Chain A
Amino acid sequence: MFAPEVAVPLLLSLRVAGLAVLFVFLAGVPVARLMAGRDFPGKDAVEALLTLPLVLPPTVVGFGLLFLFGKHGPLGRLLENLWGVSVIFNWWGAVVASTVVAFPLLYQAVRASFQAIDRNIENAARTLGASEWRVFQTISLPLAWPGLVAGIVMAFARALGEFGATLMVAGNIPGRTQTAPLAIYAATESGDNRTALVLVVLMTLLSFIVIFWVNRWSKHRLKRWTLDDEMFNSTARPGCLTCSNQPRKRGQGSTP
């Protein structure tokens, strides 16, 4: 089952998606924080620009990235001059493509959850002597965390499934840049339905597990400090480490 023609693309996909999510996270959180803040001229245009990769056809993104990172593109030349590297037609190209395409998903989710935070809660921290960094670290970030996790999951799923832009930027080189979606396409084209089916099942399973786990986790975590005693108690599961020490009233809803 885990023949190299299945395992190699799958592992590459996981590696590419993991790195892409890391980059998306590092770029998306500060940008979302800035955009959730005060207005500035041209904010709507910036907003549209940041969301663009979500709605553009992947081939347009791929073309754009080829242009930017190509031998004569501005970023391509910069990378060449600085470190003598190129991202075109190697697996870093897949990372770049996945990062760009997945960025809007995380950005949107995180910005929305930053905006949903009650301004007075952050203001209260300020009147208590907290610096802006401490406010961000101890108040804004933890309160936006559920949205952040949702964003990470969606970005990961999108990066895992990235096809069009990856094909254009990184190519379809088996063993080097062939990610799982590309491998499925290649296997189907060449009539190797067995490999394609195994990959399809594994991808579906993987995506399902990730989303299922995150949904469960965020629900559970939210309820821990929720407002409503009844809601809180109805989710307190026996044998659960985080809720077993909490009081349970009237025993209602204690069975899951």
Chain B
Amino acid sequence: MLKSTKEKRAGIDPMNIFARNKNVSAPVKSLLSVNIFKKLPAFPMQIELSVQNEVLVVVGPSGAGKTTLLQCLSGLQKPHQGEIVLNGRVLFSSTARVNLPPRHRNVGYVFQDYALFPHMTVEQNAAYGMKGNRRKSLKLQEVLEMLQIAHLAHRYPGQISGGERQRTALARALLADPELLLLDEPLSALDYETRYKIRKELKSLQRHWGIPFILVTHDLEEAAFLGDRVMRMEKGRVVGWGIPDDIMYRHANPGGRCPSPYPQ
């Protein structure tokens, strides 16, 4: 009862969302739970979701609020109401008046255009968020090698290719030891071949690292390949959940009947 009044106050109708996602989204133990409301110029954004140790892909048309959602999770934007909890830590809560700044959230963010520091080398970029000095160089070397950019350590971002910049941005985000990694259209600026290669690596990277990834994309094929679950957003709302097969099915059979609750 208490919970429902809280939700009502937050302007969220829980029935609306549970009715749609109960089939696929019933997490046993969620690492991240989000329930936020934010007024945007064109429409109100209202999101409820929980993420486990998995890749959650967020799809939807441009302007659906996907990037806003990521920015709310990372603390770069502030929701008006609701709650964000990561591994038991409250990152944001309108009722408890908590709004941790980005630097205390421990949430990694890979920007669409990578936002690398142009005046620092690949190595300096990657090490920027590292904490502590013990075994720092060892870990740095290990991650650079894993992402195959160790040989570029002393180059500047302006001197490497798009794919290499992407790997540098990934290394930088991961080396800060985040508890959650957000990726905003990480592959959209890459050519087809690099895109194909990196998306395979992304998936194994998540398995290896063991933290939830939330990835935004326009590309349904990419969503199907990368996502353990796929969430579709339209005008600031979750309009459907799916597993990758549904997405591909609907992609291939527009207008066909869908075996999952993925909406029309």
Contacts and interface: CB of A to CB of B under 8 A. Distances in A.
A175 interface: no
A121 B103 contact: no
Contacts of A118: 113, 115
A interface, how many residues as a size bin?
20 to 34
Contact of A127 (B76, B131, B157, B159): B76
B49 interface: no
Given A118-B115, A143-B119, A224-B156, A126 B176 contact: no
A129 B129 contact: yes
Interface residues of B, number: 29
Nearest to A130: B103
B108 interface: yes
A130 B131 CA distance: 11
Contacts of A228: 158
Contact of B74 (A125, A127, A130, A138): A127
Contact of A130 (B106, B108, B109, B129): B129
A129 B156 contact: no
Contact of A121 (B101, B107, B117, B129): B117
Contact of B109 (A127, A227, A232): A127
A139 B119 CA distance: 8
B129 to A, nearest CB: 3
A128 B174 CA distance: 9
Contact of A120 (B103, B111, B176): B111
A204 interface: no
Interface of A: 118, 120-121, 123-131, 138-139, 142-143, 224-229, 232
Interface of B: 74-76, 101-109, 111, 113, 115-119, 128-129, 131, 156-159, 172-173, 176
